[in-house]
Amino acid sequence: MRTEWFDRVWMSGGLGFVRRSLGVAALAAILACGSPSSAMAQDAKPATPSAPTTPALPAATKPGESSDKPQAAPEAHPAPDADVAKLSALIERMARAVLATDIAGYMACVDRADPVFLQEQKNWARDLERKPVGEFSIKAENFRVEATPAESPIEIVADLTMNWTIKDAGSPRFLKFVAKFVDRKGEWLYAGENWKVMEREGVRVFFDAGRENIAATICEIMPAIRTHVQQGFALTIDRVQEVKLYSSMKHLQQSIYLSYTDGLGGWNEPGESIKLIASAHPDKEGLTSVLAHEYGHVCTFELGPKANDAPWWVLEGVAELSSEHYADNGQFAQRAVRRMAKSGRLRDWASLSDFHNTTQGDMQMVYTQGHAMLGYISERFGREKRIAWLKAMATGSNVDDASKAIFDLSFAELDAQWRESLKPQEEAGPVPAETPSKE
Ligand SMILES: [Zn+2]
């Protein structure tokens, strides 16, 4: 998902209506002279990432230590027959549980050492209740031990091929990947992909061999992104942020839900890692803006237990705002909504509110219209009220109650005033391609 807009609304206390009415060009000039970020720095603590400690994970390399070239695969040895028999039984149990929509049965097969992987697997399994499979099978081959051969290995990897159909939907699908299993006191459990790991202060990147360069870039840029985005939310998150790099869209979709088919470039849900497709963001600029967007989701979820129940356009709008400093996409969104206002194509907010029920044609507007409204709110009311408004929804208020409480306006009044503000039609520029994309 592309993003843009200048820095004003993220860092400043809000510019209000008078300056807003000067228009985009004048506003950019004001900001070039002023330094909203220095005002911001006074009330935002620097991030203090804690040292990553997750004993269950494989030893991570640090960016400086890793070679830029793909590392050679470690020498593998066939896994002991007795362990292969146990793993085959485990995989059979996993497949039966998926077929029977037996969430607890499936989760009993999953390693619990990494809370992020555990949450991802819980969400994956819960989707089976919404969209059960018609067929599902797992073929496992080449059980092997990649570490020094031992009589009792504690990690075994295997090539898995999952084949499935979703009941009453779509054609057969499959995915092949290398999976890891771990021995927890005599019980073998499924531990997900056999990732390589790289980490730096506050970030841990999981990736496939051959993606060392992009993992190193993420390690390099993520600390500054975390600091910038946390400032916009007045938050300090010490927790290490996990980022998973998938080598294909198909693999990323499968890792979210078996039923997931929408196109996307990135993903984040509460308690999950930031998930990206490695090849979709080849340069540092693209990576920076998508990571800032996704980290905007991480920070939003930090505001309260109901954050993910906020209207979808709010979630994507503030995530787009989180990345506009890097993506320079704010003017793009503003031009787009002005043109849409002129031609009567602005959407009703209700049609942009439900992640699970948004039409393909409205999907891009979740981002663009959401971004424009979050920009408007930020300029008019400032960062603190924006945060308070988001927090109200994150703790259970609907958008109307939150707007009344924080802005002293019903949401209908706020919406009407926003639409009124779009009326001057001086801007000209490209209309965004309405390509469906979720991030
Ligand atoms: Zn998003």
| pLDDT digit string, tens, across residues 313-340 | 999 999 999 999 998 888 889 999 999 9
308 CA from centroid of ligand 1 (Å): 11
Which residues hold their Cβ within 5 A of ligand 1, which is an ion?
316, 319, 439
Asked whether residue 81 is domain-assigned, the answer is yes
Domain boundary among 157, 173, 193: 193
Are 415 and 311 part of one and the same domain? Answer: yes
324 CA from centroid of ligand 1 (Å): 13
- What CATH number is attached to the domain comprising 93? 3.10.450.50
Domain boundary among 193, 214, 235: 193
Asked whether residue 246 is domain-assigned, the answer is no
Asked whether residue 124 is domain-assigned, the answer is yes
- Least-confidence region, from 55-59, 168-172, 298-302: 55-59
Are 311 and 424 part of one and the same domain? Answer: yes
Are 39 and 89 part of one and the same domain? Answer: no
Are 326 and 403 part of one and the same domain? Answer: yes
Asked whether residue 53 is domain-assigned, the answer is no
Asked whether residue 170 is domain-assigned, the answer is yes
Asked whether residue 218 is domain-assigned, the answer is no
318 CA from centroid of ligand 1 (Å): 9
Asked whether residue 202 is domain-assigned, the answer is no
Domain boundary among 168, 193, 218: 193
Name the β-bridge partners of 241. Answer: 203
334 burial (CB, 10 Å; 0-12 / 13-18 / 19+) is: buried
Name the β-bridge partners of 432. Answer: none
User: Per the structure, how many domains does the chain have?
Assistant: 2
Which tokens belong to 331?
């003017």
pLDDT in tens, 373-396: 999 999 999 999 999 999 999 999
Are 312 and 437 part of one and the same domain? Answer: yes
Structural domain of residue 142, as residue ranges? 77-193
Name the β-bridge partners of 198. Answer: 61, 205
Q: Do the beta carbons of residue 52 and residue 199 sit within 8 Å?
A: yes
Q: What does pTM read for this prediction?
A: 0.78
320 CA from centroid of ligand 1 (Å): 7
Are 93 and 32 part of one and the same domain? Answer: no
273 CA from centroid of ligand 1 (Å): 13
Asked whether residue 231 is domain-assigned, the answer is no
Q: In the structure, what pLDDT confidence band is assigned to residue 47 with cuts at 50, 70 and 90? A: very low
